[in-house]
Amino acid sequence: MPETDATQTTPTALKIALWAMNLQHPVADRAAWLALLEAQMLAAKGQGAELLVLPEYASGHWLHWAREPMAGAPLMRWMAQEGEALLPEIELLVMRHGLGLIAGSMPVPAAHNPDAARDLGTLNRAWILLPEADGTLRRLHHDKLVPTPSERANGDWPIRLGARVQPFEFRGLRMAVLICLDVEMPAVAAKLQDQKLDLVIVPSMTGQLSGYHRVFDCAKARAIELFAAVAAVGAIGEMAQGQGGNCSGAALFLPCEMHLGASGRAAEIAPQSSADGPGPMLVAEVPVAALRRARRHAEAWPGPFDGRHVEIGHTDAPVPIPRFSVVEPA
């Protein structure tokens, strides 16, 4: 269980595990992949983690057992079918080990989905699987809001836009998930300003070092902007069937405050394009109580700020200056 301050209901800290999955690591079939996932879950739990995070398109690892080469829409449909078959087994592992899981992301059909911007096509979905104290499982999801050009309907992987961010509570923390390019868009973060988030989780997939820096540098900026911890993790290695290589790592970012560590880098695995075995795992501690205390006495953070008072262009009329106030955590 997370470490808890005896005088508060807020946990003082929560450990999370970020698995920078090596997509080049061979897996023979569904059973072998589930065994690998379970081994990683046990490793994370053995180090005290309460939550394990997989990268965006962790489903790309499944291509090792695909029987024929695929690309574009057929590839998306195949991964969606595999995900539908694997998800119940993944949920059983979550229940068996009592470990929260952000199961990377995978394609799902968008047809008739009320969260989708359109009714057809595929969504890039991260499943959020949370074991409850009463033995039940809470299943939530986040659909990628900002697909890349190669993901869009006219690109290589036809992905539709998601339309909703769903903050959630787990182990006393308020969290949200953003997938890869989502975290690079300040307009998305602006909508989260009043959500009192403790942790933002960012599964990602980037083919080059430049992509890694876009995601991870923006994740660090979001930690400052939202005054929250931001955990980012990406895939490593060549995807099967010639779907391309990946360069990434894992990191936990905090606001740049002296009491939280001046650099804002709480823990980090450096970016890499290859790895031995299943890929490195970063286990890091989110200092929840210290983060909330620092939020109340921040060095420079003005409180939730959406910039709505800012106008672009010249005007002689005075612009009202808003008052800033830090909203205390519930």
pLDDT at position 330, please? 45
* Segments making up each domain of the chain, as ranges: 13-296
pLDDT at position 204, please? 98
Cβ neighbours of residue 210 under 8 Å, at least 6 residues apart? none
Is 26 within 8 Å of 64 (Cβ atoms)? Answer: yes
pLDDT tens digits along 221-239: 999 999 999 999 999 999 8
Of the CATH numbers 3.65.10.10, 3.60.110.10, 3.30.1370.60, 3.40.720.10, which one belongs to the domain with range 13-296? 3.60.110.10
Length of the chain: 330
pLDDT at position 5, please? 44
Q: What is the mean pLDDT of residues 258-287?
A: 96
Instruction: Catalogue the long-range contacts made by 26-33 (C-beta closer than 8 Å, 24 or more residues apart).
Output: 26/64, 27/61, 27/62, 27/64, 27/65, 28/64, 28/65, 29/65, 30/62, 30/65, 30/82, 30/85, 30/86, 30/89, 33/61, 33/62, 33/65, 33/86
Q: What is the mean pLDDT of residues 11-20?
A: 96
5 or 286: which leads in pLDDT: 286
Name the residue with tokens 């090596």: 22
pLDDT tens digits along 126-167: 999 999 999 999 999 999 999 998 888 666 677 889 999 999
pLDDT at position 232, please? 98
Closest CA to 255 of 211, 207, 303, 214: 303
Averaged confidence pLDDT in the chain: 89
pLDDT tens digits along 30-71: 999 999 999 999 999 999 999 999 999 999 999 999 988 888
Q: How many CB atoms lie within 10 A of CB 170?
A: 20
pLDDT at position 262, please? 94
Is 168 within 8 Å of 196 (Cβ atoms)? Answer: no
Largest CA distance in the chain: 69
Closest CA to 137 of 173, 198, 90: 90
Is 292 within 8 Å of 11 (Cβ atoms)? Answer: no
pLDDT-derived band at 270, boundaries 50, 70, 90: very high
Q: How far apart are CA 94 and CA 147, in angstroms?
A: 28
What is the separation of C-alpha 111 from the centre of its chain, rounded to a whole number of angstroms? 24
pLDDT of 28 over the 90 cut: yes
Q: How far apart are CA 310 and CA 274, in angstroms?
A: 45
Direct distance between the N- and C-terminal alpha carbons of the chain, in angstroms, rounded to an integer = 21
Q: What is the mean pLDDT of residues 304-321?
A: 76
Q: What is the mean pLDDT of residues 289-317?
A: 86
pLDDT at position 6, please? 40
Give the Å distances, CA to CA, from 139 to 130, 131, 134, 203, 211. Answer: 6, 9, 15, 17, 30
pLDDT of 171 over the 50 cut: yes
pLDDT at position 155, please? 64
